[in-house]
Amino acid sequence: MYARRRKRRLGRLTHDLTAAQWAGLVEAWGGCAYCGKGSGPLQKDCMLPIANGGRYTLANVVPACRSCNASKCSTEVTTWLRRKHLDEAAFLTRQRQVLEALTLALPSDGPGVGSESASKAS
Ligand SMILES: [Zn+2]
């Protein structure tokens, strides 16, 4: 995925998560990616925080409930999962599966997907 070459500062952040991808993430997880809570509004949580160079992309965003998102804040995801005694391995496995499925179903390369209104109200 991300070829980790030499240390190179990203000159510009690229946030390419589309509305359709976000809707897909919410549906695939079926609730908060961390605690599983399915009710209430879900927020876009960057596993690698923006402050640490993370971006709003399909590979880096998971849906999180307000309390998890607020608790995690700008902590790196695995550090936070350990602190909360959540199942880090299960989360990472699930995240990879969701990502693989959505990468096939909703590639980022398509032009202007975000302009479509994803009306997936439940
Ligand atoms: Zn949660």
pLDDT in tens, 57-74: 999 999 999 999 999 998
Q: 110: CA distance to ligand 1 center in Å?
A: 31
pLDDT for 107 equals 80
Q: 69: CA distance to ligand 1 center in Å?
A: 7
Instruction: For 72-122, write each residue's pLDDT tens digit.
Output: 998 999 999 999 999 999 999 999 999 999 999 988 765 544 444 444 444
pLDDT for 115 equals 42
pLDDT for 5 equals 55
11-43: b (≥16 Cβ within 10 Å) or e: eeeeeebbebbbbbbbebbebbbbeeeeeeebe
Name the fold adopted by 19-104.
DNA Binding (I), subunit A (1.10.30)
Q: 20: CA distance to ligand 1 center in Å?
A: 22
User: Which sequence spans correspond to the domains of the chain?
Assistant: 19-104
For residue 61, the cross-strand partners are 46
The whole-number average pLDDT for the span 14-33 is: 95
pLDDT for 60 equals 96
Q: Is 65 helix (H, G, I), strand (E, B) or coil?
A: strand
Q: 1: CA distance to ligand 1 center in Å?
A: 27
Residue type for position 49:
P
Q: What pTM did the predictor assign?
A: 0.76
